[in-house]
Each structure stands twice: as structure tokens, then as C-alpha cells.
Structure 1
Amino acid sequence: MSLRLTNSLSNRTEAFNPLEEGKATIYCCGVTVYDLCHLGHARSYINWDVLRRYLIWRDYDVTFVQNYTDIDDKILNKASAEGTSMEEVSEKNIEAFEIDMARLNILPADKMPRATRCIPEIHTLIKELEDKGAAYGSDGDVYFDVSKAKNYGQLSGRDPNEQQQGASGRTSGNEEERKRHPFDFALWKSAKDGEPSWESPWGPGRPGWHIECSAMVRQQFGKTIDIHLGGGDLVFPHHENEIAQSETANDAPLARLWMHNGMVNVGGTKMSKSLGNFTTIRALLDSGVSSMTLRLFVLQAHYRKPLDFTADALDAANTGWKGLNAALGLGELFTRPLGWPQSEPLASGAVKSEVSVDSEVLLSAKNRFVEAMDQDLNTSGALAVLFDLAKPLKALANRLDRGDQVDHTKDDLDELLKRWRLLRELSGVLGLQLETAAADTATNQIDDGGEIEAAIAARKQAKQNKDFATADRIRDDLTAKGIELIDKPGGITEWRRS
């Protein structure tokens, strides 16, 4: 079978046919770094992490880029409220994002460009649109003219002419008066007093939101990529406008496949700060919910459908995870009592196939896992395979935990070992990994080794991104809390208490 994914652009499930055989280029819309990430972010980035892991496991050479929006009205408002700067707000929340993602076992992106580091590319793209008559200036601002875009509305299904007729009374203010069409959007915003700005051919200012991603996609990949990812709330206007400006400038499709995840509800109601049902990833994990429970909870629903967050649903996910975790822990915790040969652990972050399957039962399990994932990432079907694999392992773990005598033959134990190895590998494809009792106990204190390891992972990613200021800040924060880092050859970092 071939991998089939739902393309939001065609609203059909299509076979995945990348631009270059055996490779996959993916761009994921990242966070606007003005605050801590919430459950909606967790859902989105867990889903896309699984897509990436699965492609790697299927032997694709994947390049995964995810951006930071580090200049935005929300960031500036937060800086004003806190009496700090845009840079301080951004850096603080980038560091928090990387720690939260590490705690959720989300693989760091290959590259994480920032809007403020892409200004020359943004200028170039705007100038190209201007030269094509698709952009116009007005009092220091520059807008994209939606009437110049081919098939505007192709992603969202919105007709700009109908929007024009229904727009009366919905727009106001000086900005709207400067537009030719209510749905024209800003490519460049003129500088305001006290706000950061950059020099440009149109005067000092800063980029609009939509142009950032178009410039970063082209900077990292060129004109066309295989897959563009994001939450369903980004379809309009963000992704619709990305398509309009990129395809007008480049005369080429921006992405061959668009994928969007569904929204998160809380008790049947849309999650929002105004309703008081808003939960951050950090608050949830620090309350005692394990990261793997949250991950399994997200993966129980199809990525495109709404996800309803309730205490009962989370409890059910926790029960399911405890069973899987017991089975995963069997190989590490009970190797010697069972007489199993010492097995080499999977390399850190590895998701490529490493397990040889030589029995019909295990081959059938692996095939069912692939069949589920090939059908538009049916993670609930994939989890069902994991639970089936885990049943005899969990039963054996329970017997050993009770101190019961194990009377399995060597052949039985060999088969169980193979089952455990396959379970571990397929769990890794979904980003599920063994949690020890220590890691399962969330705490705000630096005594939590998991928090320390997450901070080290965030520091490593910052260094890979050549963001040495963030890397140094993470080290300084840990030092202040009594944790000393020891960098060793091969990119290995160890820690000890001062």
C-alpha cells in the first residue's frame, strides 16, 4: 500500500507523491512567541511529529522546518505590559516552547527560522509582488491586492467577490480605509512610535504576518515544498494569503499537499482564554499528568477531527498508557530474571525500522500498523495494534510485579522478547516512550530530572540553530538553580548538582 493523506486544498485523500522520490520537504507553521503554549499547540505539534516520524520510519529523507513568529502585535503588547522588550518576550517564550516540546518527546525541527532574521528575503518577495502589480503602497504600508491572485479562496473555499459584498460594516479604522479591498492584507507595516522597525524601500516598518512564512519557505526550500502543515484555524486567512502571495510571486505551487489538524474543545466548548477553559501544556504536565498520557490522549482521535478534552477522557488515556508503559518497561526492568539477552537500546530519537520480524503474528501486527498509518495517519488504529502487542507483555509484567513464578519456555520467552522489541519500535513511531516512576511525577522543582533533561535538549537545539544567546541563558538558569552542565565530545551533555 502507499501512504495516503488528506489534502486540504483538494479536500480529498491522495497518495503521497513527493517532488523527489524518497524525500519529503515539510514546512510547519510555528508559534507566535508571546506566551506559553496551550493544548491546541500540543495537539498540532504531536500530530505533525508523528507524521514526520512515520515518514522517517518508511525510509523517507525528511527535511522539517518550523518557524518562530517573533515580531507581532501580541508580542509588543506583552512587552509593554511587562515593561520589557520584544526580544526579551520572544527569547523567554522560545526557551519555554523548546522545553515544553522536549517534555512531549517532539523531535526538534531541522531548522527553526525566525521572522526577524528573514527581513532581506521579505523585502525581496514584496518587491517582486510590487513589480508584478500585485502589491501597492499606502501611507508607508504595503498591501497585497487579492484581485491579482489566481484562484484566491481555493484553500478556504471563500469567494472574494462575495466577501466584498458582505464586508460592509465589518471593517473600520484608518488601515481599512487605506485598502482597495477589505480583504487585501498587509505585507509591510509602517513604523509606529516606540515599536521595533527595519529600514525598507517603503520606509521604516515591520513585516506583516502572512509574508513571513512565504519568505521563510522560499528561503529554506525554494518555490515549492511537499507538505505545508498547520492548525485548522490557519486555513483562513493565513494559509490562503500565503498561497496568494507565494504563487503570484513564484508562478509555482507553494505546496503540493496542505494538512490541517482539528481544534481542541474543552467539555464540548471551544477552548479560549475568555471562557476560562484555557490550559497550557506546562500547567497540565506540572499538575501531574504524564507527557506520554497527554500524547496518547491526542493520538486516540484522528488528527483532522475535533478533540474534546475532559477529565474522564484524560483518565481513560492514563489507564491505557499505564498498560502500555508496563509492557514497554518489561524488557528493561526484567531482562535478567527472564534470562533475556541484553538488547541494544534504540538510538536516541531513532525512528527507522530496526526490528526483524520473522513470525506470522508479529508480521501481521506490523502490517496492520502500516495499513492504519497509511490511511491518512489513522493513529487510533495504530494504537490498537500497540495494545494488542502489549497484552501478553503486560500480563507477564503483572506476574513478575506480584512475585509470581515464571514458567515460560525459552521459545516462549524468545517470542515475547521479539514482541517487546516490535512494540518498542512501533511505539517510537508514535513518539511514545517508556516513562519511569521518577519521570511520571511532575514537579515545578529543579529536582525533576526530566525538567533538567528537557532544558538540556532545548539548549542543544538552540546551539544547533546558532542561537548561542538562548543556549547561554539556559545554562545560566540551570547554574542559578544548582545544576552544573558538563559538555563532552560527540555533542553529549551531562549534568550534576553543584
Structure 2
Amino acid sequence: MALQVYSTLTRKKEPFHKKPGDTVTMYVCGPTVYKPSHIGHMVGPVIFDTVKRYLTYLGYKVKWIVNITDVDDKLINRAKELNTTVPELSAKMTEDYFACLKSLNVTGIDHFPKATDHIGGMIEVIQALIKKDYAYEVDDGVYFDVAKDADYGKLSNRDPEQMEAGARLEPNPKKRNPGDFALWKSKPGEPKEVQFESPFKCGRGRPGWHIECTCMAIKELGETLDIHGGGLDLQFPHHENELAQSESWTDKPFAHFWMHNGLLKMGSAKMAGSVGNVVNIADLLKKHTAETVRFLLLSTHYRSPIEYSEERLDEIARSLQGFYRFFERYERYTGVNFYSIKAPETQEAFSKLYNRRTEGGNWFESFCGALDEDFNTGNAIGFLYQLLNELNRHADREGYEEHPEKRKGQQFVDFTEGGIALRTMGTILGLFWEPPAKQSLGEDSTLVSGLMQLLLDLRNNLRATAKEAAKDNPLKKPLFDQTDLIRKRLGELGVTLEDRPGGTTWRVG
């Protein structure tokens, strides 16, 4: 199946317009760096990191840019509250943002242009819009005239009057239309570090939010982007205004595909600083692993809302244990550490490895089919679980644990290749990038280990006695019930037991 991508602009899925081997340009709106990053800030980066991973696997050469807004009303107000400067605050919060991206294995961003590094280019764009009569000057700034753009509103599918009624517009008698937006603004009394020289009537000032992205996107990637991404909350006014000024300036389509990801929800409310329900990444990672968090953000289709809750994160953490147990099982059978497997990097390389139909190949094909349908990571993760279950059933059916001599021949080759397919799926989703940290037993680890071994020995003796008793009376199972009770109670304490022919092992988690 050919790759299909939904565009917010056309409101339908369309075949991707380029072929493998071509360069794909992708711009995703980044943060205004005035507060520490919360989990809502990571939704877009994790999703589009996965989009880039899959496009790269298909053979495309992807250049992905995420901007940093380091001059803005929020930054100015927050710096004043903290009695610091805008540059100092933005630098500190940018480093926090980078650390959060790294923790969640977002590795595909090629460059982070900063707004303050492109002031000259923004002024040139504004001058061009004035010359083409799409913008006009007043004594407090420069504004884009939405009435001059015949198809203004096409991205959000609303006419200007509807947008004016639904938007929070600052009343300004100097504007020609209520919906006109600032390209340049001059506000007396603002700190000198956020005021830049300009040729406009208003003099020193700073750029509007929307013109920043237009300038940085086109400067870095060209006049027509292949993909422009961002959160659904940016569709209007930010992306609508960005599109209007960009196409008015260049007379070319600004983006082939507009992709908008759904927002993170806590209960019935969107997670946002304005709502006061944010969970900072640094705090979240004290309670949950980064892999659990990334798994959550990919567990639905990217255009759907993501339900955030502690219960959901706990559920994902438990389900991930099934993968971790399989990875250990795979290493016992093959002698290969799962995390050391080098996954095929491209579709062509994978096809050479799987030149026949196998369990792994079948599930991998379904996995790619889900991603071909508008990057449906939710369905793709479902096939990840399907392959995990299939490989475990295969190992149980063949008896690799009890009969090591069976670990050869074509059936075992299918099993090992299935592990490679699982590894490749995880790599495309950005999962399983490092082994989970072992939970510490604390200072008394020797004592705890000794007590656990004593408990396992007692349980094993009980199991042996139960087997003997069952020979005389197969219906009498109280001793087996006791061994199951031990497993259950240990599980409630976070300890997992695994009974294998070579003995019983235990782990925390």
C-alpha cells in the first residue's frame, strides 16, 4: 500500500506526493521557552519524530526543523516575574526542552532555529508584504490586512467574521479590520533586549509570533514545505496566519501537507498552563520511565486526543514488562542481546532479509500497513503486541526452553528473524532504545536476595510435594493453590516470578 497522509487543508487523505529517495522537508512549530517543558510539549515532537523515522525507513531523506520562540509576550512577562532577563530565561528553558527531548528519545530534529537569529529576515518579509499591499503601517506596528487575502480562513475552514467572533482579538482602533494581525509591534517600556531596530514608522520593536515561523521555515527549508506540523490548537490563529502571509509573500503553496496532532487531555480538559493542570517532564520521569511516556503518546492515532492519567501510565508500564521478559528470553535462546540487534534501516534492507513469508514478516507487513494509513501508530502498536504474542507462542510450541537441541533449523531461524522484525518495529516507533534500569533493592540487597531465594526454595519444595500428591488424587489441588498464592502475593509487591526448566527466577517489576 502506498503512503497516505491526511492534510488539514484538504480535509482528506491523499497519496504522498514524493517517492522514496527524494528529500522531504518538515517544519513543526516548537515551544515558547518561558517555563519548563510539560508532557503536552512532548506530544508533537514524539509524533513527528516517529513520522521522520518511518519516512526514513521508506527511503526518504528527511530534513526536520523545529523553531524556538525566544522573544514573546509570555517570555517578557515571565522574566519580569522572576527578575531576570529574557535571554537568560529563554536560554535556561531551551536547555530544559532539549533535555526533555533527549529523555524521550526524540533524535530526528536536524536544527532548532531561534527567532532572535532571524530578525533581519523577518523585516525583509514584512517589507515585501507592505510593498505588495498585504500589510500596512501604523504608529504602533505593522499589520497584515486579512481582507486583501481572498482565501483567508481556508485552513481552519472559517470565514473571517466567524474567526473574529471566536478569537481573542485585542481591540485596536488603528487596525483596518478586527482580524488583522501584527507582523511587527512596538511597545514602549519593554526591555531593551527585546527591541530591535527596524525601518518601519514605529521604529524599534519586535516581530509578531506568526511572522517568526514563516521566515524561519522558508529560510531553512524553502518556499514550499512538504509537511508543516503542529498541535491542533495552533490551527487558528497561528497556522492560518502563517499560511496567509507566506503565500501572499511567495505566491506559492506554503505546504503540501498540513498535519495537526491531537492534544493531551487530563479528564475532560486540555493539558495547558492556562488551565493549570500541567505535569512537567522532570517530575513525571521521577515516577514513570521515559519509555512508558513515549508509549503513551504513540498509543492512539496522532490526530486523536491522548488521554493522560496515572492509571493509564501504570497500565502501559505493566504491559511493557511483557516485552522486557521476551527480550531476556530471546537472549537465553539465541545468545544475542535484543538491544544489540542492528535493525534494518530501510525498507529495501528489510526486504532482502525477509525474502519469504514468516511470522515476523507477516506481522511486520501489517505494522507498515498501519503506518501507511496516515501514520496510525495506535494500530501499529497493536501489531507490535501481536508479534510479541506470536513469538512467545512459537517458543512455547517448539519447547526451546526444555529442549535446547531444537534451537537450530529453519523453525529457529524464523524465531530469530521474528526478533529482528520486533526490533525493527520498535526502532521505527522510537521504542526499546536502551534496557530498562534495574530497580535497586537498597542497602540490604544481600539480605533481600537471600530471603527471596529462601522463599523460592520453599515454594519449589511445595510444588514438588504438590506434584506427588496430584498423582494419587488429581482433583486435590490445595498445595498448588498455595504456590499460586505465593506468586500472586509477590506480584502485588512488584516481584515477578518465572518458572523455567532450569529453575525459578525473580525480578522486581
CA distance in 1, matches of 2:339, 2:309: 39
Residue 14 of structure 1, CA deviation? 0.8
| Aligned partner of 1:178 among 174, 181, 185 | 174
Q: Which runs of 5+ in 2 are unaligned?
A: 441-509
CA distance in 2, matches of 1:342, 1:146: 56
Contact 2:20–2:59 (CA<8 Å) still a contact in 1? Answer: no
Residue 343 of structure 1, CA deviation? 9.7
Matched, 1:150 2:160: no
Q: Give the 3-state SS of the residue equivalent to 1:301 in structure 2.
A: coil
Q: Which moved more, 1:292-301 or 1:253-262?
A: 292-301
Q: Give the 3-state SS of the residue equivalent to 1:5 in structure 2.
A: strand
Q: Give the 3-state SS of the residue equivalent to 1:410 in structure 2.
A: coil
Matched, 1:17 2:13: no
Question: Aligned residue for 2:298?
Answer: 299
- RMSD, aligned α-carbons: 2.8
Matched, 1:323 2:322: yes
Matched, 1:187 2:186: no
Residue 339 of structure 1, CA deviation? 4.8
What TM-score comes out, normalization by structure 1 length?
A: 0.80
Question: Aligned residue for 1:446?
Answer: none
Contact 2:53–2:108 (CA<8 Å) still a contact in 1? Answer: no
Matched, 1:389 2:387: yes
Question: Aligned residue for 2:123?
Answer: 123
CA distance in 2, matches of 1:37, 1:343: 29
Contact 1:327–1:397 (CA<8 Å) still a contact in 2? Answer: no
Residue 192 of structure 1, CA deviation? 2.8
CA distance in 2, matches of 1:167, 1:426: 43
Residue 268 of structure 1, CA deviation? 2.8
CA distance in 1, matches of 2:327, 2:348: 17
User: Which is higher, the Rg of structure 1 or of structure 2?
Assistant: 2
Question: Aligned residue for 2:473?
Answer: none
Contact 1:150–1:244 (CA<8 Å) still a contact in 2? Answer: no
Q: Give the 3-state SS of the residue equivalent to 1:155 in structure 2.
A: coil
Q: Which moved more, 1:245-254 or 1:352-361?
A: 352-361
Question: Aligned residue for 1:101?
Answer: 101
CA distance in 1, matches of 2:374, 2:284: 29
Q: Give the 3-state SS of the residue equivalent to 1:317 in structure 2.
A: helix
Matched, 1:8 2:8: yes
Contact 1:369–1:385 (CA<8 Å) still a contact in 2? Answer: yes
Residue 367 of structure 1, CA deviation? 1.4
CA distance in 1, matches of 2:36, 2:392: 36
Q: Which moved more, 1:222-231 or 1:275-284?
A: 275-284
- Counterpart of 1:294, as a letter, is V
Contact 1:53–1:351 (CA<8 Å) still a contact in 2? Answer: no
Matched, 1:64 2:64: yes
Matched, 1:414 2:410: no
Residue 186 of structure 1, CA deviation? 0.5
Question: Aligned residue for 2:374?
Answer: 376
Residue 44 of structure 1, CA deviation? 1.6
Question: Aligned residue for 1:39?
Answer: 39
Deviations 1:438-484 (A, max 9, x none): 2778xxxxxxxxxxxxxxxxxxxxxxxxxxxxxxxxxxxxxxxxxxx
Question: Aligned residue for 1:284?
Answer: 284
Contact 2:65–2:111 (CA<8 Å) still a contact in 1? Answer: yes
CA distance in 1, matches of 2:222, 2:335: 54
Question: Aligned residue for 2:357?
Answer: 360
Residue 321 of structure 1, CA deviation? 1.8
Matched, 1:205 2:200: no
Contact 1:300–1:379 (CA<8 Å) still a contact in 2? Answer: yes
Change (3 A) 1:341 1:108: closer
Contact 2:327–2:337 (CA<8 Å) still a contact in 1? Answer: no
Contact 1:262–1:304 (CA<8 Å) still a contact in 2? Answer: yes
Change (3 A) 1:410 1:86: same
Question: Aligned residue for 1:447?
Answer: none
Change (3 A) 1:358 1:144: same
Question: Aligned residue for 2:488?
Answer: none
- Counterpart of 2:225, as a letter, is I
CA distance in 1, matches of 2:286, 2:345: 27
Q: Which moved more, 1:321-330 or 1:349-358?
A: 349-358
Q: Give the 3-state SS of the residue equivalent to 1:367 in structure 2.
A: helix
What TM-score comes out, normalization by structure 2 length?
A: 0.78
CA distance in 2, matches of 1:329, 1:129: 61
CA distance in 1, matches of 2:145, 2:438: 52
Contact 2:301–2:379 (CA<8 Å) still a contact in 1? Answer: no
Q: Give the 3-state SS of the residue equivalent to 1:286 in structure 2.
A: coil
Contact 1:325–1:435 (CA<8 Å) still a contact in 2? Answer: no
- Counterpart of 1:378, as a letter, is N
